Structure 1
Amino acid sequence: MLVQHILRRYEDRMSKSAEPTEVTGIERLRNRLRLLYHGHSPGALRFQTAVLLVDIAILAFFIATPLLRDAPGFILIDYAVALLLIADLAARGLAATDPLRWLRQPTVIVDLVILATLLAPAWLANFGFLRILRLWTLSKSGFLWRPLRKYGFGDYQEQVQAVVNLLTFLFVVTGFVYTVFARTGSGIEGYVDALYFTVATVTTTGFGDITLPGTLGKLTSIVAMIVGISLFVRLAQAIFRPHKVLFPCPQCGLQRHEPDAVHCKACGHLLNIPDEGD
């Protein structure tokens, strides 16, 4: 009798623990955001495309910031962009399975630095050129690639990534040169002069009509040339390398194969690469 009573209490306890817990409002919100940010449904793709368009508009504002800094209403636009970035970061944080791990990602750290320059434009004006790094963080997210895959441009991800890396570097160096060296009589009196110098240096054209003064100027030119050449070589490789499809081998994990490959060239495992028309 005592044993039956103990067993009955154990079964009751187990049945109560097996009852589904009520989903809270915050959990429903997080689930909804996960579907929107990481889903592949038509509604999720429309949301991701809308976010991508907003990000492109923000990037255009970042590029034009040196030219618009003294315009009336600039500070209002600056704070409006900051609010959009706060909303995006908060939503992505809620959508993350592990928010603390997400917060330690390099792309998130870069976005937080960009947000700081937006919230304190007067104090951090000299670091405003770092805002263009938003282009790099965007290229690391799915918002850029999912719409491209939807419209048949998924095979060009490597080429687009190489272009993004080069453009990001060009605009970061341009912003740094404009912030540090622009002054009357220096040869760099405007943003276009800084961009002209950067392109001439990165391409190793070296017209010599604009040179950066001092040791810092020489070091900046050296870094621009070395990194710029490396990025140009990377872009050329991505463009002229024979086309391959992204299909991880189940056996060895080799990522790229010829479109008509039947076996993995690394381990010989039988592949089943989907046809482009599938």
Structure 2
Amino acid sequence: MDDLPSANDAPPKEAAWRQKLRRLYVGESLAARRFQWSAAAIDIVIISFFILAPVLQEEPWFLWFDYAVAVLLTADLAARAAAARDLRHWVRQPAVWVDFVVLATLLAPLWLANLGFLRILRLWTLSQKDVFWRPLRNSRHRHWEDVGRAGINLVTCLFLITGFVFTAFARPGSGIEGYIDALYFTVATVTTTGFGDITLPGAAGKLTSIVAMIVGISLFVRLAQALFKPFKVLYPCPRCALQRHEPDAVHCRACGHILAIPDPGE
């Protein structure tokens, strides 16, 4: 009985291909970086399709492209699940939940048409990939990672609200006749400009405007903080584990421990 393999023991060949997938998705070799950048480029094309979907959905090829994206996303999710060291931990990640929601809207575009605007959340999951931020972390421009993340969060919010406004309120005579009108209203509301030439009707419209203004102000403030706050390097203090320090710091400002912050330019 002791010689029987347990359920958790994977055959050697299976373990080998899973390790290869893991190296491709999270490795830092030349082959891994090429794979990650290729996957990111495909993601950018897909996200562009999601943004333009309200304008392109009447095209005869739209559903074919929609299902092709669903196949690509299914393959990507399956490969990432196979590469995960702990499947339960992987499934609990918010980025994975977003991808499952996006996949559902792709597989049932007619049934879940009203939730199609959620696809733009794929832009946020793309920003979680280290492939974009790794070059910054290894340079003198590490502080631009915070700026980039804040900017992507703001753009994601803009298109998410635009998609919701277009889906929920666009109709003849409403003032929002097309996607550009919805985007115009969103930008005017999020920036609190409030021209007033386009307004959403009813209590639902007022609540949507309030949420857009609150979220927009919060994201603009976060972007401004990332742009103008004093630059600090990320280096954990060996004694107290404080992460952020002045670039030329010699002692930790929290505990006084002597620091040896490496210079990325050397």
TM band (smaller chain)? over 0.9
Alignment partners' CA distance in 2, 1:147 and 1:52: 15
Residue equivalent to 1:273: 261
- How many residue pairs were aligned? 259
Aligned partner (choices 3, 22, 26) of residue 38 of structure 1: 26
Alignment partners' CA distance in 2, 1:250 and 1:109: 36
Structure 1: any 5+ residue segments left out of the alignment?
A: 1-12, 14-20
Residue equivalent to 1:194: 182
Is 1:258 the counterpart of 2:246? The answer is yes
The 10-residue stretch of structure 1 (28-37 or 171-180) with the greater mean CA deviation from structure 2: 28-37
Kindly report which structure 2 residues correspond to 1:222-237, keeping only aligned pairs within 5 A, or say none. Answer: 222-237=210-225
Is 1:140 the counterpart of 2:128? The answer is yes
- Paired letter, 2:51: I
Kindly report which structure 2 residues correspond to 1:70-89, keeping only aligned pairs within 5 A, or say none. Answer: 70-89=58-77
Aligned partner (choices 112, 116, 119) of residue 124 of structure 1: 112
Give the structure with higher Rg (CA): 1
- Contact 1:45–1:146 (Cα < 8 Å) also in 2: no
Deviation at 1:105, TM superposition (A): 1.2
Identical-residue share of aligned pairs (%): 64
Alignment partners' CA distance in 2, 1:144 and 1:40: 13
Alignment partners' CA distance in 1, 2:265 and 2:144: 17
Residue equivalent to 1:64: 52
Alignment RMSD, CA only? 1.8
Structure 2: any 5+ residue segments left out of the alignment?
A: 3-8
The normalised TM-score by structure 1 is 0.89
Deviation at 1:36, TM superposition (A): 0.9
The normalised TM-score by structure 2 is 0.92
Higher helix share: 1
Kindly report which structure 2 residues correspond to 1:108-187, keeping only aligned pairs within 5 A, or say none. Answer: 108-149=96-137, 154-187=142-175
Alignment partners' CA distance in 1, 2:11 and 2:140: 38
Deviation at 1:90, TM superposition (A): 1.0
Residue equivalent to 1:9: none
Aligned partner (choices 80, 94, 98) of residue 92 of structure 1: 80
Alignment partners' CA distance in 2, 1:60 and 1:203: 23
